Amino acid sequence: MAQKAVATPTAVAEAVEKLMQAGLNPTVAQVRDAVGGGSYTTIHRYLSQILADRGNSHTTATDMPPDLAEIAHRAAVSIYSAIQKAADGRVEIIEHDAALRIKRADRTRLEAELEVENLEHQTSELIDQLDHVRAALQDASARAERTEGKAAATSSELQRVREELAQAHTVIELVQKEEARLRAELGCTQDKCATSAPEIACSDQPKERPRRTAQRGRPSEPVT
């Protein structure tokens, strides 16, 4: 729906009348403020026409001589034309500057919207990455708990094996001691056997001698 124009010829004329009654020389800015907005160019066009009409009516109503009135009118028109040209130039500059500012504002707004969209996209990606990291952390925690359980069981089994190894070493030491003892006893037995061998030989020899002596002491038989 198109917005209703506020700077109409009637509204501008009423604003000019109020300003002149207040002792002011109406300007485009004053009239625009009085009517509540509108285009500078449109208000300037209406204001120029109204002031021109008022100038003609005031000139007609005066009792000045026609020649002087004509000169005064031409001077007023020249002055007003110069003022109008200057005002037109200022209005064009103002409108041009306003248009540039509006374009810059629109461009800045578009850039801000793109930046917001980009930030929202990056935020969404970061949230997804954070969810993945949290899931990976939970999985790692679960695996760590399982590993700790296995490590505890392995440590218990390792302790049991170590105890069995210690017991085996103790048994080995006992066996080695027993072997050393038996070797010592065997050595002693062998030494005793070696020492007892001559005695045994000596004890066998006297038993044969009496037999030989007896044979020697037997009388010889007479020869027939």
What total of structural domains would you count in the chain?
2
Looking at the domain assignment, is residue 157 inside a domain? Answer: yes
Best CA proximity match to 9, nearest among 40, 37, 50: 50
pLDDT of residue 96 exceeding 90: no
Within a domain: 98: no
Q: Of 2-6, 97-101, 169-173, 203-207, give the lowest mean pLDDT range.
A: 203-207
From 89, 124, 156, give the residue that closes a domain: 89
Q: Is the pLDDT of residue 152 over 70?
A: yes
Tens digit of pLDDT for each residue in 37-88? 888 889 998 999 988 887 655 544 444 556 665 676 677 777 877 787 787 7
In the predicted structure, residue 179 carries a pLDDT above the cut 50: yes
Higher pLDDT: 33 or 6? It is 33
Please report whether residue 33 resides in a domain: yes
The residue among 45, 66, 89 that closes a domain is: 89
| Residues of the domain holding 184 | 145-191
Same domain, 84 and 149: no
Q: How far apart are CA 103 and CA 150, in angstroms?
A: 69
Q: Is residue 105 part of a domain?
A: no
For residue 220, being part of any structural domain is answered with no
Residue 22 lies in a domain: yes
In a domain? residue 114: no
Query: How buried is residue 205: exposed, middle or buried, by Cβ count under 10 Å (0-12/13-18/19+)?
Result: exposed
